[in-house]
Amino acid sequence: MNFGGVTENVVTRKEFPLEKALKTLKNETIAVIGYGIQGPGQALNLRDNGFNVIVGQRDNSKSQERALRDGWKTGETLFSIEEACMRGTVILYLLSDAGQIEVWPVLKKHLTKGKTLCFSHGFAVTYSERSGIIPPSDIDVVLVAPKGSGTSLRRMFLENRGLNSSYAIHKNVSGKAFETVVSLGVGVGSGYLFETTFEKEVYSDLTGERGTLMGAIQGIFAAQYQVLRENGHSPSEAFNETVEELTQSLMPLVAENGMDWMYANCSTTAQRGALDWWKKFKDASLPVFKELYEEVKTGREAQLSINSNSAPDYREKLDIELNELRKSEMWQTGEVVRSLRPERENKKIC
């Protein structure tokens, strides 16, 4: 498929429908290991699509409680991590990066010849010298990475839509890894699947998370909000002009038809200003993105994540940092603004 003059390998549900995916994996037991961020969405979508799915989760954890609420049954479809690894023929390894490092010795024992190991992030394999995760040589190793949160994956599935995913093949011992990975991608609810490598997936993913998806956007929000407040604008006005109008009005237009269409459907004053200023923002941020990508590529960013997320007080420190965001004036204002949005008629809550 052609993207702006560049040809890419893309698989859609038109040429690889659900029926074909079910037939491909009809004799497989898909073991979803981990029920935190990605686990619920992928496991539930696979189950609802008709695949044979079990879940492996730590005993007496909040995630295990959630799995029980979602209808997974102890001893039937919900097992300990080790038993699920033993029972599964296709293992979806969906623990956090730090969790994967911790559990790897348990999982590795059950990666016997003929099984398939699937990741949703290229982190562990790309940075194997740091993670210690080196899959056996006699199994298929693949990747299906939905381009969004597990919550979005599930929500879009329930709305009969798909969240795009990348796919990669690291080892193809069986000669059938392509059919397997695409079947998994279709099963978890992908809109379409585009080819990548484990290395490119993690480089782009870490850059995106720290950049426009989360880190950069929060930084830009905070900077503009601060400038408006310092110049006498009210919290409500500053928040609406910084966040609310972007997320509720403009970004949906970009998602539907592209940035040029959104520009064309704004006032001429807005058009002129946006066209005059976007290159200045690009020039200002480009050095930061280049520095960020280099940190990711060298593995230094990965090591920072491993060190931080493996610390015994990780959760406590995380809560402090998230609480700082939550209690900032900007996001306290945002909570009020969201509460004032009019409810849609006949709103369906899944």
The closest of 150, 330, 138 to 242, measured between CA atoms, is 330
Phi, psi of 177 (to 5 degrees): -65, -35
Q: Let me know if 144 is exposed, middle or buried by CB neighbors in 10 A (0-12, 13-18, 19+).
A: buried
Catalytic-residue membership of 121: yes
Handedness of CA 239, 243, 248, 250 (dihedral sign): positive
User: What is the rounded distance in angstroms from the CA atom of residue 184 to the CA atom of residue 29?
Assistant: 12
User: What is the rounded distance in angstroms from the CA atom of residue 296 to the CA atom of residue 206?
Assistant: 7
User: What is the rounded distance in angstroms from the CA atom of residue 140 to the CA atom of residue 118?
Assistant: 8
Residue 240 tokens read as 């609406």
Amino acid, single-letter form, for residue 81 = I
Q: Is 234 helix (H, G, I), strand (E, B) or coil?
A: coil
**Neighbouring residues of 207: CB distance < 8 A, sequence distance ≥ 6:** 289, 292, 293, 296
Q: Is 12 helix (H, G, I), strand (E, B) or coil?
A: strand
Residues annotated as catalytic are 121
